Amino acid sequence: DGGITQSPKYLFRKEGQNVTLSCEQNLNHDAMYWYRQDPGQGLRLIYYSQIVNDFQKGDIAEGYSVSREKKESFPLTVTSAQKNPTAFYLCASSIGLTPSYNEQFFGPGTRLTVL
């Protein structure tokens, strides 16, 4: 059963702590993405990776970090430098990078609440 998994579904952290969100895909996709979704807002791109060991900043990368050591995994760390980390985080993947030729498939999301 192919797909994208994100864990956990809900995550609570104290202010000042770093937290890592998991994203795993078994679709054999090369490209992976992290988006942030706030109430009443569209999806904003945090980081994306076209291939293993390579990743690029998106529109709102400040306060976040990623790694891509394996094709199937793209974890996102929300650092204490992120000023407003409470949000819904979505991971996505696609075969390739060009949106018009490669549908992005989304995971179920992780809702992060920083107390």
Partner 1 sequence: GENVEQHPSTLSVQEGDSAVIKCTYSDSASNYFPWYKQELGKGPQLIIDIRSNVGEKKDQRIAVTLNKTAKHFSLHITETQPEDSAVYFCAASKVGRDDKIIFGKGTRLHILP
Task: Write out the residues near partner 1 by the rule CB under 8 A.
Answer: 4, 40-45, 48, 58-59, 90, 92, 97-100, 103-104, 106-109
Nearer to partner 1, 2 or 42 (CB): 42
Amino acid at site 14 = K
CB 46 within 8 A of CB 58: yes
CB of 15 to partner 1, least distance (A): 25
CB 57 within 8 A of CB 74: no
Nearer to partner 1, 16 or 40 (CB): 40
CB of 78 to partner 1, least distance (A): 18
Rounded-to-integer distance, Cα 100 and Cα 61, Å = 24
CB of 101 to partner 1, least distance (A): 8
Nearer to partner 1, 58 or 80 (CB): 58
Calculate the alpha carbon distances from 52 to 6, 24, 55, 67, 110 in Å.
Answer: 19, 13, 8, 9, 23
Nearer to partner 1, 27 or 80 (CB): 27
